[in-house]
């Protein structure tokens, strides 16, 4: 089974090697046929503390790292550009 990849915005970077990412999803309500926005926060592992509040990041599922961390920040070209900007 492939690992899920989600995209969201960093809302907190206060913890060491951890960022809180707010992921928002949109879906059509089955009965009302209206577009509904739903959001959820995930705690993700950030090895080098390179992401700051407001950055848009992609996170990928991984084995449990701690009690609440089951995601890792996916470092790709766009993430490197954001880190270089900061």
CATH number for the segment(s) 5-74: 2.40.50.140
| CA distances in angstroms from 11 to 30, 52, 63, 68, 86, listed in the order given | 30, 8, 23, 16, 16
Nearest Cα neighbor of 57 from 81, 39, 69, 74 is 74
Strand pairing class (56-61; 71-74): antiparallel
Report yes or no: 16 and 46 within 8 Å, Cβ to Cβ: no
If you average pLDDT over residues 75-79, what whole number do you get? 65
Higher pLDDT, 2 or 40: 40
Per residue in 1-35, pLDDT (tens digit) is 899 999 999 999 999 999 999 999 999 999 999 99
pLDDT at 86 over 90: no
The pLDDT of residue 52: 95
User: CA 17, CA 65: separation in Å to the nearest integer?
Assistant: 11
Provide the residue ranges of all domains of the chain, joining segments of one domain with +. 5-74
The pLDDT of residue 78: 59
The pLDDT of residue 1: 85
The pLDDT of residue 74: 94
Nearest Cα neighbor of 69 from 32, 26, 11, 15 is 15
């Amino acid at each position: 089974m492939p690992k899920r990849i989600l995209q969201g915005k960093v809302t907190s970077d206060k913890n060491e090697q951890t960022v809180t990412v707010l992921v928002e999803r949109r879906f059509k309500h089955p009965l009302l046929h209206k577009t509904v926005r739903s959001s959820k926060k995930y705690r993700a592992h950030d090895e080098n503390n390179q992401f700051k509040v407001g950055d848009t990041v992609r996170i990928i599922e991984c084995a449990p790292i701690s009690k609440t961390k089951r995601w890792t920040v996916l470092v790709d070209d766009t993430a490197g550009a954001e880190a270089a900007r900061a």
